[in-house]
Amino acid sequence: MTQADAIKWIAELFEEPVDNIKPETARDDIPGWDSLGILNLMAGLDESFGILLSEAEISNLQRVDDVLNILKQHGKLS
């Protein structure tokens, strides 16, 4: 998966136009990235990539780049 693919996946997950999602985009700038959005993100990472997040990883997700880094750490992002 490329970074562009990952950003498209994140945009779809949070129901945002892909043009609104960039690595530096903050969680607070994505309306869908609320408490329910976190659950959707966790489920999406598990279902799509087999990635289970720890509580520490979840609390550290503050920007789109943090999600990209999780994908990189798990070998899902080239």
CATH of 3-73, one of 1.10.10.10, 1.20.1250.20, 3.40.190.10, 1.10.1200.10: 1.10.1200.10
Does the pTM of the predicted model rise above 0.85? yes
Residues 9-67: tens digit of each pLDDT: 999 999 999 999 999 999 999 999 999 999 999 999 999 999 999 999 999 999 999 99
pLDDT of 78 higher than 90: no
- Give yes or no for a contact between 36 and 45, defined as CB atoms under 8 angstroms apart: no
Q: Where are the domains of the chain?
A: 3-73
Residues 59-77: tens digit of each pLDDT: 999 999 999 999 999 999 9
3-class DSSP assignment, residue 63: strand
Task: Give the model's pLDDT for residue 12.
Answer: 97
